[in-house]
């Protein structure tokens, strides 16, 4: 026998675990626009501004160069 809500609980957990797909190119353009606009002057300053690591910023900006 199943608990009364077991199936709906499982379906809800599965739907909550799916993350929305992010547009990677849009993120790269946003990062570059912060540098181009003068909001930040270097990648190091960008990482501090965004609160992410340099290891995260580098591949994001590399997408623009490779595209």
Q: Are 8 and 47 in contact (CB under 8 A)?
A: no
Rounded CA gap, 10 and 58, in Å?
A: 38
**Which DSSP string corresponds to the chain?**
---TTHHHHHHHHHHHHPPPPP-HHHHHHHHHHHHHTTS-SSHHHHHHHHT--HHHHHHHHHHHHH-
Q: What is the mean pLDDT of residues 30-37?
A: 95
Rounded CA gap, 8 and 47, in Å?
A: 41
pTM of the model: 0.66
- Report pLDDT for 2: 54
Instruction: Work out the mean pLDDT of the chain and round it to a whole number.
Output: 83
- pLDDT at position 1 over 60: no
């Amino acid at each position: 026998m199943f608990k009364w809500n077991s199936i709906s609980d499982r379906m809800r957990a599965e739907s909550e675990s799916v993350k929305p797909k992010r547009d990677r190119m849009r993120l790269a353009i946003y990062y570059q626009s912060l540098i181009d606009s003068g909001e930040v002057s270097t990648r190091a300053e960008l990482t501090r501004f965004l609160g992410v690591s340099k290891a995260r910023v580098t591949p994001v900006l590399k997408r623009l160069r490779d595209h």
